[in-house]
Amino acid sequence: MKVKGFLKDVGGASRVTRARLAAFESASATPEKTDPIGEASKAWHPGRLELKVAQIRTCTKTSKTVRFVRADGGELPYFYAGQFIALEFPMGETIISRPYSLSSAPYQARGKEGFAEITVRRSKGDGFVCDYINDTLKEGDTVYGTMGCGQFYYEPLRDAKNVVALAGGTGITPFASMAKEIAHGTLDMDLTILFGSVSSDDIILKEELEACEGEHVHIVHVLSGDEPGWTGERGFLSADLIKKYSKGDTTYFICGPQVMYNFLHGELAKMDIPKRRVRFEVFGTPKDITRFDGFPAEEKEAMHNLTVVRGIHEDVIPAKAAESLVVALERAGIRIETACRSGECGLCRTKVLSGHVFICPEGDGRRAADKEFNYVHACSAYPVGDVKIKIPIL
């Protein structure tokens, strides 16, 4: 150790201490009411926001794009291209939440004129919120939302610069956001999107994607329907097709319906890609939980009592075994915070006080401590028998 350097350090430290003491002595005795660091953090991560529907436009014959701005005229928080917004819709006596990937780019959300967009496809008759958005939501309405959720974004420290996106249907939305940000020059990555649609008039965000094409954004449409005259790629997103558009070290980002995921698991396995180079977006609540291994067959149509403890309040509500605890709470008009509705984010973490739940095997985001202390993610837990849970008061 150099003694001179050591003494200098010690001397320096005592000078800092003296300066601190002097600052304390000259400070006002009245407590400072403002908290600039807290305020800045609130401005960047405001949590739940009231949003106004500024515009609704038709995207394809089965989908619409909805533009939101902040209802209080303030600025929207920052998000990464690829992330989703958890939106809450007042429906009847209750509030229902759903995640939607942002199809607009982060740069479009900045500043006083900033906006955020989602693109939502209507159902084939069994939908709920998606049909509400397509048929009932109107310009001027307000909803609540939490922006910048999820892990499905490009991270240069983790991902290869060359990204091949495998998208199906509305699974294009996170990639539309990335493509727009790249074209704007504020995201440094190379993106090739293999986009599967049924027919050419069914291609979601077609013009917006084409406007982004250039040196770093390449879009390949793949039609699964038998469309005469189509000169582009046909079929499904097979291993051969993926190989054709991959070059060098590549990260694969995948977003689409559950059937596409099942198919792609097989195709990617044929390609021998390292696990760290494949990123799947979560796909939400399964359409039919009863088809999963381990779900008790006799529970398919069963109804149970769900006792919900909030502080000193206790409510007993009906709950279908085939619907998650979150859906039972929403049906009963009891608000619980949710975001991904896929068992991943943990926002709806709930303590099971008694009874048994079935956990969706594809949405089991519980940590070891959750398991030990009987916590579940209410969006991926299904009551098999009467259950008592404790949730936070909102």
Cβ at position 92, least distance to ligand FAD in Å = 7
Instruction: Name the nearest CA neighbour of 108 among 178, 210, 195.
Output: 178
Instruction: Name the nearest CA neighbour of 361 among 286, 277, 306.
Output: 286
Instruction: Please list, in sequence order, all residues whose beta carbon lies within 8 angstroms of the beta carbon of residue 358, skipping any fewer than 6 positions away.
Output: 289, 292, 294, 295, 296, 299, 321, 381, 382, 384
Instruction: Please list, in sequence order, all residues whose beta carbon lies within 8 angstroms of the beta carbon of residue 174, skipping any fewer than 6 positions away.
Output: 81, 82, 83, 84, 101, 102, 103, 152, 153, 253, 255, 281
Query: What is the number of the residue whose Cβ is closest to ligand FAD?
Result: 127
Residue 82 · residue 101 · CB < 8 Å: yes
The residue (of 252 and 283) whose beta carbon lies closer to ligand FAD is 283
Cβ at position 174, least distance to ligand FAD in Å = 7
The residue (of 241 and 338) whose beta carbon lies closer to ligand FAD is 338
Cβ at position 67, least distance to ligand FAD in Å = 14
Question: Cα 325–328–329 angle (5° rounding)?
Answer: 90
Cβ at position 126, least distance to ligand FAD in Å = 7
Binding site for ligand FAD (CB under 6 A): 84, 94, 96, 98-101, 118-121, 123, 127-131, 150, 170, 173, 281-285, 323, 327, 330-331, 340-342
The residue (of 41 and 123) whose beta carbon lies closer to ligand FAD is 123
Residue labelled with tokens 């094409």: 213
The residue (of 242 and 334) whose beta carbon lies closer to ligand FAD is 334
Rounded-to-integer distance, Cα 16 and Cα 39, Å? 28
Cβ at position 208, least distance to ligand FAD in Å = 13
The residue (of 260 and 282) whose beta carbon lies closer to ligand FAD is 282
